[in-house]
A and B are shown apart, each in its own frame.
Chain A
Amino acid sequence: MQTEQKATEKEMIRKYPPSREYLIPILQEVQDHFGFLSRESIFAISDYLELPESKVYGVATFYNQFKLIPPGKYQIQLCRGTACHVKGSFNLLETLKRELDIEPGVTTKDGLFSLETVACIGACSIAPVLTVNGKFHGRLDTKSVEKIVKALREEGAKR
C-alpha cells in the first residue's frame, strides 16, 4: 500500500517540469490527492525540484490553503469575512469550537471533523456561511450550526 502511494506521488510530481515555477501547482495537486502535505511529500518535492526542504516548507506554510496535518472526514470551513462577521460568525465559531471541542486548524481525535476559518468564500450575500467538504450552508445561526454538526456526527457514526 505504502509503496503504491509513493509511486502515485512520484508520478504526480513528475508530470510537472522540474522548475520552481511549478512548486505551488505540485503542492496543490499532492494535497488534493492526499488531503494534506506529509513530511515525506515535502521531501520528495524538494528532491525533485532541487530546492531546500526549508523553501518548500516556507511556501507551504505561507499560504493558507496548505495543510500539514490530515484533515477530518468532514472538513468544516467557516467564513470569517466582513459580511459574515457583521452577521455574527464569531458566535458560530464559538459554537463550533464548543460542539467539536477543537480549535480552528485542528482535526478531532476521532478523525471525523476538522475546523478551519477562511478569510472570505465570496458568498457574502447569504452570510453567515460555512462549507462542509465544499458544500455551502448559508444564513446560519447557532442553532442551525448545532443541527449541522449533529447530522454529520450521526452520518459519520453510521459508516
Chain B
Amino acid sequence: MSRVYIGMGTCGLASGAEQVKEAVSKWVYEKQAGIPITPTGCIGYCQAEPIIDVVTDSGHRISFGGVKPESVGGLLEQVFGDKSYASKGVLGQYRNGQAPLKNIAFIDEHPFFKKQRKFILRNCGVIEPTSIADYRATGGFKGLERALTMTPQQVVDEVLKSGLRGRGGGGFPTGKKWSLAQKEVSEKKYIICNADEGDPGAFMDRSLLESDPFAVLEGMIIAGYAIGAREGIIYCRAEYPLAIERLLECIEILKNEKILESKLNNDGFTLKMRIKKGAGAFVCGEETALMASIEGKRGMPKPRPPYPAVSGLFEKPTVINNVETLANVSAILREGAEAFASMGTAGSKGTKVFALTGKIENTGLVEVPMGITLREIIEEIGGGIQNGKKYKAVQIGGPSGGCIPAQHLDIQIDYETLKGVGAMMGSGGLVVMDEDTCMVDLARYFLSFITKESCGKCIPCREGTQRMYEILDSVVSPYSKMKNEEENLARFNMVMNLENLAQVIKDTSLCGLGQTSPNPVLSTLRFFRDEYEAHIYDRKCPARQCKGLLTYRIDTAKCTGCTACARKCPVSAIVGETKKAHYILDEKCTRCGTCADVCRFEAVQVS
C-alpha cells in the first residue's frame, strides 16, 4: 500500500525534485523498505515545491511541501516509523473514504485549494502522468467510450450544449467551430492541438501536458471523431522538452493499446497523431500562423475568411483547439454537458485555470469556476501580496490583455466582464503587481515584446508598435545632455499621438496579435494616467523603477566613508576618501542600484 509520490513537473524539477527523489530512493534502499516511488506531475502549488506525497500503510496519502533532500530521511522515518506525521511542511491529507488521520487537515481545505474547483486539473500531481492504468483508474477514456456510442453530430451537440468556449484566448464557442468543420466534405481533415503557449506569464498548458497528457490526447481523439479528422497534430513549444517527451511516450502507449491508429468503431474511425515542435515565435499561437509554421513556412497569419474550419492546414478543413479546451472536452464527455454547464456564469461555463504569479504570496496554478471574483483569487487563494506591500494591479491576458486596478477587484471573472474593463481572458496568466511596479515600464515592456514578436507582415503592427515603443521609451528616458526645448516639444507631440496611434493599430492590423497589441498601453492609460503624467510632466517615476528618471545621491551626514559602495560600483562612479563622505558622479552612474544594496548605513538615496 505504501508509496511515495514526488512532484516532477518543470517547477518541481527546478526546485530540486531530482535531488529529493535521490534522497528518497537512498532511504528506501538503506531501510530495504521496498516502497515504490512514483513521479507525478504538478499539483499547482508551485510555491511549496518540491512536494512529496507519502501513502502510509493504512492507505492515507499525506502531502508535504518544501521538502529538502536532507530532511527526507527524517520525514519518512516519522511517517513509516513512529507514525507521528511531522507537522512541519504538511499540506494536508487526501480524502480516501476511510477515517482520516488525526491532527492533519484535508488538503482540499488548505487555503490554497479551498476555493478551487479541480475539474480538468484533478489528476495533475495526483497520478503518474504516463501511466495509462492510473489514468483509467480515475475515469480516463470513459469520455471517449461514451463519444463512440454517439454519432459525431451528437458529440458536437453535446459540446455545444455544454457552452464550452475556447480557452486559448479568443473565447470562440468550441462546438460551433466543430460543427463548421464537420459540415465540410473533404477526403482529409485535421485536428490540431495548439500547445504553443507563448503568452509570457502563463504555464497551464505546460503543466497539463506534463501532468495529465492522456486527458489532452483523449480530448483530441474525441474532437477528431466529431469532425471526422483522420490526423491529429500537436503543435508544442520547443521550450517545453518535458511535455514533448511525455506526449511522445503517451502516444506510443496509445498505439500499443490500440486506441491510436486502430479502428475504434464499426465505421472504421481511426486517428493518427504526431507532434510538431514549435521553434519559438509568439505569433504562431495565432491559428493561421500556426498552420503556416506546420507547413514549413514562416509563421505569418493570413486574412480570414476562409476560416481554418473550411480551408486550413494544406487547404483542408482544420480545427485548432487549445490544450485546456481539449482537456475540457474529455471531461465534458465523461461527466456530461450538464455537469459542466452547472459551473460558471450565464455566458461563460465551466472552470478556468489561471497561472498566478508575480508579487503574490502563493504562486502556482489554480483552477476556479468562472464567475469567481478576482479578489477571491488574489487574497484568499493567492494569500495576498508579498511582504505586506500594497496591491496595485493584476495583469491578465498577457501582451494582448490589460491591467485591472484595485477598484475593479470585485468583478466576476468571465469573458464579457473582463472585456468590459479593457482586459481579456487570454490564456489565463495572472501577474500580480504591487506598489513597486511601474505601469509605464510595464507597458513599455509589453511593447518591446510585441515589436520583437511582430511577424512583420502588416504595417500597422510592424511600424506602429515600434513607434509606440519609441514614445514610451522617450517618456522613461532621461533628458539628453542638451535639455533643449525642442526635445521636450517633440516628446509632448509624440505623447499626444499615443492614444490615436493605438486606436489605428487596433483597427487596421491583420491578426489578433496586432489588433490587441495596444491593449497594455490603453489599459494602463485608462487606470494609471497619473503615473504617465508623473513621468511626462514631473519627470519622476513614482515606483522608482524607470532607471532613466532616477538619481542616486549619497547623504553626506549618514555616509561613514566605509568605501563599500566605491569598491562595488561596477563603473567606478563613486569617489571619496576613506572615512570621509563619498560622492556619486551622476554622468558615470548607470543606476544599477548596487551601492544602495551594499550600503549598511542607508546613506544612498534614490529619487
Measuring CB to CB, which residues of chain A are less than 8 angstroms from any residue of chain B?
Answer: 19-25, 27-28, 58-59, 62-66, 80-87, 91, 94, 98, 118-127, 129, 134, 136-138, 142
Contact = CB atoms under 8 A, between A and B. Distances in A.
Interface residues of B, number: 60
A94 B570 CA distance: 11
7 contacts: A82-B446, A83-B201, A83-B429, A124-B357, A125-B11, A125-B357, A142-B597
Given A59-B296, A83-B357, A86-B359, A64 B281 contact: yes
A124 B201 contact: yes
B547 to A, nearest CB: 9
B431 A82 contact: yes
Contacts of B14: 123, 126, 129, 136-138
A125 B365 CA distance: 9
Contacts of B199: 120
Contacts of B298: 58-59, 62
Contact of B238 (A65, A125, A129): A65
A23 B297 CA distance: 8
A141 B10 CA distance: 20
B433 A86 contact: yes
Contacts of A120: 198-203, 239
A59 B296 CA distance: 8
A127 B357 contact: yes
Contact of A63 (B299, B365, B593): B299
The 10 A-B residue pairs with the shortest CB-CB distance, nearest first, are A125-B46, A81-B200, A136-B14, A63-B279, A64-B280, A120-B200, A83-B357, A82-B201, A23-B296, A122-B203
A20 B201 contact: no
Given A122-B202, A124-B431, A138-B11, 15 more contacts: A21-B294, A27-B279, A59-B297, A63-B281, A65-B278, A66-B279, A80-B449, A82-B201, A82-B429, A83-B200, A98-B570, A120-B239, A124-B357, A125-B363, A129-B14
B442 interface: yes
Nearest to A95: B592
Given A81-B201, A123-B203, A125-B364, A118 B239 contact: yes
Given A59-B298, A83-B431, A124 B363 contact: yes
Nearest to A127: B357
B173 interface: no
A83 to B, nearest CB: 4
Given A20-B295, A58-B298, A122 B398 contact: no
Contacts of B293: 24
Contacts of B455: 62
Given A82-B200, A138-B15, A119 B282 contact: yes
A28 B279 CA distance: 8
A81 B296 CA distance: 27
B451 interface: no
Contacts of B282: 119
Nearest to A124: B357
B352 interface: no
Contacts of A65: 238, 278-280
Contacts of B299: 62-63
Nearest to B453: A119
A142 B237 CA distance: 29
A80 B200 contact: yes
B241 interface: yes
B453 A24 contact: no
B57 to A, nearest CB: 33
A137 B10 CA distance: 11
A16 B158 CA distance: 40
Contacts of A91: 592-593
A86 B453 contact: no
Interface string B393-437: 001001000000000000000000000000000000101010001
B277 interface: yes
B397 to A, nearest CB: 10
Interface in B575-593: 590, 592-593
